[in-house]
Amino acid sequence: MNPLLRAKNEILDLLFPPICAGCGKEGEFFCNLCKKTLIQVPPKCFACGKLSPGTKRIPQGRTCTSCRAHTPIYAFISPFLYRQEPVRELIHNLKYLRVYGISRVLAKLLINYLSRFKIRFPKNSILVPLPLHSRRERTRGFNQSRLIAESLAESSDIQIYNNVLIRTENTRPQIELRAEERRANIIGAFAAIFPEKIRDKTVILLDDVKTTGSTLEEAAHVLKSAGAKKIWAITIAH
Ligand SMILES: [Zn+2]
Ligand SMILES: [Zn+2]
């Protein structure tokens, strides 16, 4: 977030104290009681949804061997189901009500999940938030995935790269489309710039929600063609 916007939000937070996205109680963006109602789902294969083994038989979200031919995503981390009420509220309040402080709550939930399943980002990995088209980012004023990624980078030692992937097409929102139309809608929507920054790196792509996965796969495909070694996908919910 740019410093001016950040300052503005800090002032807004002072004037309007946070209220819990789950129960409406004043004081926090998401209270401890509501946190306890969240149900984490174990990491699973991006393509088929089966629990996928990692080291010591803990599921760690790696794409199963038989699915690797069908997706450019190597591992998938996504702690929650989108249909869970407080999760949907959190994402909705960040995106549409512009409650920016929620990005820190979501980043913490991700960190907690990573440590619970003993998932470590590989050496040489970089965090890349899924970009919005510049026109849409201007209308909305911010990119929610970038806010979450910035909060995640602040509290872990991964580096964030905001400028290696751009959205060249302002596509129709995937949510308006049927599953089979989504793939066609998104092809050619991304471009990798500064390929030297991603060469031989593991790119951790971050988006708020995975639905069919076409958007993440298209971005992954573009990054791999530009020289990235492996692509992980992280979303808050799916
Ligand atoms: Zn609450
Ligand atoms: Zn699979």
Domains of the chain: 3-237 (3.40.50)
pLDDT for 175: 78
Ligand nearest to the CA of 85: 1
Q: How confident is the model at residue 1 (pLDDT cuts 50, 70, 90)?
A: low
Residue 226, number of CB atoms within 10 A of its CB: 20
58 half-sphere exposure, CB direction, 13 A CA radius = 11
CA of 208 relative to ligand 1 center, distance in Å: 21
Ligand nearest to the CA of 74: 2
Q: How confident is the model at residue 181 (pLDDT cuts 50, 70, 90)?
A: confident
Ligand nearest to the CA of 37: 1
CA of 68 relative to ligand 2 center, distance in Å: 8
Q: How confident is the model at residue 14 (pLDDT cuts 50, 70, 90)?
A: confident
Q: Tokens 């070694």 identify what position?
A: 229
Ligand nearest to the CA of 46: 2
CA of 234 relative to ligand 1 center, distance in Å: 25
Q: How confident is the model at residue 182 (pLDDT cuts 50, 70, 90)?
A: confident
Which token pair is 113?
Answer: 């999940």
Ligand nearest to the CA of 67: 2
Q: How confident is the model at residue 74 (pLDDT cuts 50, 70, 90)?
A: very high
CA of 207 relative to ligand 1 center, distance in Å: 24
CA of 78 relative to ligand 2 center, distance in Å: 15
CA of 86 relative to ligand 1 center, distance in Å: 9
Q: Report d(CA 192, CA 73) in Å as an integer.
A: 16
What percent of the chain is predicted at pLDDT more than 90?
70
The yes-or-no verdict on residue 53 having pLDDT over 80 is no
- For residue 207, what are the contacts with CB-CB under 8 A and spacing of at least 6? 129, 130, 145, 215, 216, 233, 234, 235
CA of 31 relative to ligand 1 center, distance in Å: 4
- For residue 40, what are the contacts with CB-CB under 8 A and spacing of at least 6? 79, 80, 113, 116
The yes-or-no verdict on residue 39 having pLDDT over 90 is yes
CA of 87 relative to ligand 1 center, distance in Å: 12
Q: Report d(CA 131, CA 205) in Å as an integer.
A: 10
Cβ atoms of residues 63 and 73 within 8 Å? yes
List the beta strands (DSSP E) in 163-238: 165-167, 190-192, 202-209, 230-237
CA of 63 relative to ligand 2 center, distance in Å: 5
Amino acid identity of residue 166, one-letter, is I
